[in-house]
């Protein structure tokens, strides 16, 4: 795996779990990962589509639409029009 030096905003980074007291961080936009043992971001080793998955729930049903970001990062979900960070 190569080192990417992920520069995406902290709002696009998710803490997936904890290893040895430190969290595993994953960038939703570029797929890079970093944990407490690695000092730098590591790129994914396979194909990754940049984007985000909608977490909005309407009428008890989660949207879960994938909003690709290859051209641009969408600010609202393409399926349900929910703003990206309010879901």
Per-residue confidence (pLDDT) for residue 71, from 0 to 100: 81
**pLDDT at residue number 82:** 92
What separation in angstroms does the CA of 13 have from each of 6, 16, 26, 52? 10, 9, 5, 11
pLDDT at 34: 82
- pTM reported for the whole predicted model: 0.47
Q: List the domain boundaries for the chain.
A: 1-47, 49-87
How confident is the chain (87 residues) per 10-residue block, as mean pLDDT? 61 72 77 76 76 87 86 88 73
């Amino acid at each position: 795996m190569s080192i990417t030096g992920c520069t995406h905003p902290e709002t696009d980074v998710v803490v997936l779990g904890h290893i040895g007291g430190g969290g595993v961080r994953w960038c939703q936009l570029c797929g890079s990962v970093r944990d407490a043992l690695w000092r730098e971001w590591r790129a994914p080793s396979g194909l990754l589509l940049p984007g985000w998955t909608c977490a909005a729930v309407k009428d008890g049903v989660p949207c879960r639409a994938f909003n690709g970001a290859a051209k641009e990062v969408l600010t609202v979900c393409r399926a349900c029009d929910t703003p990206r960070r309010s879901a």
